[in-house]
Structure 1
Amino acid sequence: MSLVLSLVLLGLAIGQRTVWAPPDTIVSQLEESPDSQLLLISGETMNAHDGRQTVTITADGPINAVVGRDHDVLGWVGDAAHSVASIDDTQTMVLEEQAGNEEPLPELAGGDLWIEEHLGEGEVRIPIDLPVGYSLLIAGEPGQAAPADVRVEWPFDAKTPLFGPLLTAGLVLLALALLLFLLALRRHRRSRGPQRRSHRELSRAERRALRREAREGLPRPQGAVAAGEARPALEPADAEGSDASPADVSDGTPVDGTDGSAPASTDEGTASAPDDAERDRGRAERAVAAPRRRRLGLVALPVIAVVGLTGCGPQYWPSAEPAATSDAAPQPTSLEETLPPVALTESQFTRVLESTREAVAEADEALDIERAADRLAGPALDARRTNYEVRSQNGELPALQGIPDGDVELLLPQQTEVWPRTVMAVVGWEDGAQAQSTLVFQQTDARADYRLVYQMTLASGVQLPAVASPTIGAASLPGDTPLLLHRPDEITSGYASVLLRGDESEYASWFQEEGDALREAVGRAAKDELVQRPEFELSLLEWGASDDEQAPLMLVTNEGGALLATSFTETQRATPREEGVEIEARDGAGILAGVEQSDTGIETTYQIQVLFAVPPAGAPEGTQIQVVGYSQSLLDAREVG
């Protein structure tokens, strides 16, 4: 009966993992076709089930799918019509159409916002572990709806809670059946085995007769025994415990007629009798132990299997229902979770930087301002436009400094979910002799690329203030903020005044003069020295300054101050003091002015980019704004008149 029950239970257990086993995956298929070109699947939808997701998209043409943070994806979608996929109670993927404008959309792939991009033709399979807070955005061909054949698969933890108990019970009953079988077999052998008579003990008279025969040396027929005597055991011994042999218990008369000493030798059979007895005893013990070991092995095998299988995973055993999850919003556990997200991640910035290097290198080689505009904007683009113009007419003129090719030494993205966004970075050169550059990027809207607005060389010996890590980022401030030592929208014009008037400027006390290499190069003292040169003896030199169209960009430092990147233009006007005096226009200025010499004068405009370290409003008295980086380039020139 135990054997039958064990086989039934084992069969049921195997069926739990074969015939009745649940599927290995959970599949949710999109059952309807989207109406719009964009299909959005949020991280909440993708995490409807546990495990790594696999998204399969099938279409007749090209397929574009990108992964980004929720606020980035929604920012890119903007007011465009799109479909939002979710999973209902029947595990079916359903759509919710979001109305919007039907204007043509730009290319989805290639944007700076995306964490991943998946492109293909006909079918795209995306293994992904999409966390909450990220979304998958799928786009169809321009002017067509998004693909309708979208399937999401999750690995299914195929729990069979009856497998463990059934298998364990089956093996226990199998072990019990084997044990009962062995016990029955042993009983059967005892009841039907051969019956041997026990050896009886020799009487005293029989022992005396044996001793007498030994003394007289009477031969005993081979195999014969005395009357009523049982066959002797392997070792003849006194039944009452005496160790003496028949020859030893004689009355003192030697058996062989000698002086009573032991015989000089014995026959070979007699000498080897004890050894034979020991070997026979060992064989007998082993013969008894072998069946015991076999029986223990038969019982131990299922017992070991039961013990091993009881250690199977929890999916094979019944378990308590999981605790109900709370609907309350998760509480932040780190500083990053309490702050706005950073404008972009380190990996995203690496792609932006590589793309900028490539675009600028190609543009500098071909003098192609359109190619440069793919990654440059504002003052950085204006400076290169002028440089390309003059180099196209004089190839011997130097090019502007390229994008540093070394490592990113510092990255400070803005904390924001909206646009425009700002990112600052300090990047070095592979040639360690070159000074590091500060690059300031801006993204004007979600569908635009990050473009380099400012590029300034860090001043030698100047230390940047401490800033937050790239994962935390920094806040930006408005131009009229009262949180800084001076208003940002006044700093640019104030410093331009200092370069023109020196200590006579009302803003001179705002800025630290020590270590200011820019003031040393183009400040009031440098201008006065230029006026005294012989070549300008008959010329009148005048300078003026004006703000640039680009608004300053700033990010907060750890102590509450800010790094402020700004630019302005400074104009040098050279006119003759007397008639007949001509002003010479050299190199790029002559090309831009269209003349090499002028009797009316030349006006040259330079662009100056500056990176300031601005202290907070509560800084100690006497704290000043420090110039930590700058650049200067020719912007325009014209003939006066």
Structure 2
Amino acid sequence: MRFVWAVASFVIAAVLIAGGIAQRTVFLGPNTERAELGVSADQPYTMIDGEVFNKLPGVQTLQIVGNGQIFGAIAAKDDVAAWLADRSYNHVTLADDGTITSTVVAPAQEAPAVDESVQKGIDAATTAGLITPNAATPVGSDLWTDEFTSDDSMIRKLRLPDTMAVLVAADGQNPAPSDIALSWAIDNSTPWAGPLVVLGGIALIVGILLYVLGIRHMRRSRGPRRRGVPPLPETQPISVGELDADDAAGKGVISSGTKKRGGRRTFIAIPALVVSGALLSGCTADAWPKFDEPTATPSPTPTVIVPEDQETPSVTEQQAEKILDRIATTAAAADSSLSIDVASTRLSDAVLAARATNYTLRTTLPDVPALTAVPSKPYQIIVPEAKSGWPRTILAVWQDEADTTVAPRILIATQNDAWSPYKVSYLAQLEASAQTPNLAPAELGANLVRPDSSLLVMAPDQVAAAYSDVLDKGTASEFAPSFNLDVDTFLPKITAGRQEQLNTFNATAEGQTGTLEFAARAGASAPVALMTVDNGAIVAVNVEETETSKPTVADAVIKLDGNPKVTALTGVTQSQTGFQTTYSDQLFFFVPGQSSGEKIRLLGFSSDILKAEVLP
């Protein structure tokens, strides 16, 4: 019976082992699936929707073959379509039946004409070796979350959601590569191959043991007996002591034979173990079942209530850091070369106007320091506007973690359309005691507040004029109660500076024959207000301060002794009509919500000379 069970075990082992090996060989399916995109039209650009990449689950491999340079970019689908709106292109989409189709899309609109001054800045930045995006080339556009170039061929592994798209081009002028394919990794794991081989090995060992036990039982019982044993002949008893050495050695063969039989059993079991081990060594990790590993419970995060109508952020945090780093590089090059044309490609409004004056002064007066530099990454806070259209805005807060003596900085950058780069329109240093309001995380973004919004204690478009009145009248201003002046260090600085200048002016001859007056007003730059999570807003405004000195006697003159900046800007040292000097203030406020009961508080500021002129 032991032989029967041994044979059964051998048969089961063979079936199990063969089944496990077959799963890893003859029954093993392909590990990838490939799809040719079939782009045939000669267009300079090809847009591939994210749905095409997600035709099958898993990692997506993009393969492009062409002649010469190949350019690829990844961005939100709407952003790619907006960038391509002024030209025709191949659009690769996924049809309702799951097939990949390619169509040619005609231009939907004309790109805005490039202003002569803008083109001048682009040319200057190109000459300086800086990458500046423009409508003629896709390289370096701020819309791309990632971009890559290669020669003749390109292979990229991606994980794109449906909301993203890939832009493929050569140089933006010649036809884009048409040999484009996608492939997906297919799960061809065989989780039961390993267990089948293991079970087969166990069955093989059991069969061998049963076979050995059967042999042992048969030998002990002298094998099968088909007839009786004949009577043995009579013998004489022999004592053990009468055996000689040779006989003893001969009789000892019985003991030696027993040892040999045990050795054969060991020898028979070893091949079974070797075979099983060899089979198991060929089984990879995907030949075994995978059990779900327990995941750590994530730590609770603060809840941010997102408005139902809020869109997705215009840029990702990594994309925003890349954009701001480009701006910092260009601004540093402009500050070093004193090129306002280069600066104009990445700076605008109050920031650009202040630098134009600074470059003029530094050309004449080398001791004049450069203005506050645009910081490079990493940023402490980045909040993109939640918006799919244009213009779109980014707010960022930077702090030097290695040097705490360097004042933190806050800035706002804006992109006007799909073909324009982001430009910094406001830049200031944060006050040391300023507490940054609670802002939404970068992955959620925030909405801009309308300039005339009534949801705040003061509409954003009224903050500049109200604070200007406070600068002129101090606590006597009707708007002073709306501001938290206890944490405001800018107002005392301006008040003290004006009084010092007035005292100096009155102590001179001009003070006896002339007047010095100060005034503040809302500047030319439009306010920008980004909502905080507590229904308030960070509001950036521009205020312009003027110092006007006039003679009060007909033959009197106003002299510029000790004021080299005004002299450098006006080109004169005295005037019979007087002078007017204008300073540009960039101010960041936290404006609370209407129902909060809080006051407006100043977060940061910068103040720079803007212009000086001789009065007519």
Q: Aligned pair in 2 of structure 1 residues 348, 230: CA closer, same or farther (>3 Å)? A: farther
1:304, 1:18 → 2: CA distance?
18
Q: Aligned pair in 2 of structure 1 residues 167, 630: CA closer, same or farther (>3 Å)? A: closer
Q: Aligned pair in 2 of structure 1 residues 284, 463: CA closer, same or farther (>3 Å)? A: same
1:64 maps to a residue whose letter is F
Equivalent in the alignment of 2:35: 28
2:171, 2:109 → 1: CA distance?
14
Equivalent in the alignment of 2:347: 376
2:590–2:603: 8 Å Cα contact kept in structure 1? yes
1:28–1:92: 8 Å Cα contact kept in structure 2? no
2:138 maps to a residue whose letter is L
5 Å matches for 1:55-94?
Answer: 55-78=62-85, 80-86=87-93, 93-94=100-101
Equivalent in the alignment of 2:518: 543
Residue 313 of structure 1 deviates from its aligned partner by: 4.6
1:312, 1:456 → 2: CA distance?
56
1:505 matches 2:477: yes
Equivalent in the alignment of 2:121: none
Equivalent in the alignment of 1:396: 367
Q: Deviations over 1:184-235 (max 9, x none)?
A: 9889986699x999998xxxxxxxxxxxxxxxxxxxxxxxxxx933564759
1:337, 1:230 → 2: CA distance?
114
Q: Deviations over 1:360-390 (max 9, x none)?
A: 2211121101111121111100100111122
Correspondent of 1:605 among 567, 582, 602: 582
Q: Aligned pair in 2 of structure 1 residues 91, 278: CA closer, same or farther (>3 Å)? A: farther
Equivalent in the alignment of 1:637: 612
1:442 matches 2:414: yes
1:153 matches 2:183: yes
67-76 vs 366-375, which deviates more?
Answer: 67-76
Residue 476 of structure 1 deviates from its aligned partner by: 1.5
The two structures have a TM-score, normalised by structure 2, of 0.78
Equivalent in the alignment of 1:50: 57
5 Å matches for 1:68-217?
Answer: 68-78=75-85, 80-86=87-93, 93-101=100-108, 105-158=135-188
2:352, 2:87 → 1: CA distance?
31
1:356 matches 2:356: no
1:308, 1:365 → 2: CA distance?
64
1:512, 1:316 → 2: CA distance?
65
1:544, 1:334 → 2: CA distance?
42
2:85–2:110: 8 Å Cα contact kept in structure 1? no
Residue 10 of structure 1 deviates from its aligned partner by: 7.9
1:529, 1:13 → 2: CA distance?
92
Equivalent in the alignment of 2:601: 626
2:357–2:609: 8 Å Cα contact kept in structure 1? yes
Correspondent of 2:316 among 345, 353, 365: 345
Q: Aligned pair in 2 of structure 1 residues 295, 119: CA closer, same or farther (>3 Å)? A: closer
1:607–1:632: 8 Å Cα contact kept in structure 2? yes
Q: Name the SS for the 1:635 alignment partner.
A: strand
1:334, 1:604 → 2: CA distance?
46
1:233, 1:72 → 2: CA distance?
109
2:361–2:569: 8 Å Cα contact kept in structure 1? yes
Residue 576 of structure 1 deviates from its aligned partner by: 1.0
2:304–2:440: 8 Å Cα contact kept in structure 1? no
Query: How many residues are matched?
Result: 562
1:31–1:92: 8 Å Cα contact kept in structure 2? no
1:123, 1:474 → 2: CA distance?
40
91-100 vs 580-589, which deviates more?
Answer: 91-100
558-567 vs 284-293, which deviates more?
Answer: 284-293
353-362 vs 175-184, which deviates more?
Answer: 175-184
Equivalent in the alignment of 1:289: 262
Q: Name the SS for the 2:380 alignment partner.
A: strand
2:307, 2:211 → 1: CA distance?
68
2:449–2:530: 8 Å Cα contact kept in structure 1? yes
- Give 5+ residue unaligned stretches, structure 2: 1-6, 112-134, 291-302
2:42–2:176: 8 Å Cα contact kept in structure 1? yes
Q: Aligned pair in 2 of structure 1 residues 519, 124: CA closer, same or farther (>3 Å)? A: same
Residue 492 of structure 1 deviates from its aligned partner by: 1.0
1:235, 1:484 → 2: CA distance?
122
Question: What is the aligned-residue RMSD (CA, Å)?
Answer: 4.4
Q: Deviations over 1:113-162 (max 9, x none)?
A: 22221112222221223234322111233344322110112223346799
The two structures have a TM-score, normalised by structure 1, of 0.75
1:156, 1:233 → 2: CA distance?
81
Q: Deviations over 1:42-82 (max 9, x none)?
A: 22211222332221112223221011233433343345433
Correspondent of 1:469 among 441, 456, 459: 441
Equivalent in the alignment of 1:255: none
Greater RCO structure (CA 8 Å; 6+ sep): 2
1:428 matches 2:435: no
2:191–2:286: 8 Å Cα contact kept in structure 1? no
1:615 matches 2:592: yes
Q: Aligned pair in 2 of structure 1 residues 597, 298: CA closer, same or farther (>3 Å)? A: closer
1:38 maps to a residue whose letter is Y
631-640 vs 32-41, which deviates more?
Answer: 32-41
Equivalent in the alignment of 1:588: 565
- Report sequence identity in percent: 28
1:293, 1:199 → 2: CA distance?
38
Q: Name the SS for the 1:64 alignment partner.
A: strand
Correspondent of 2:546 among 562, 568, 571: 571
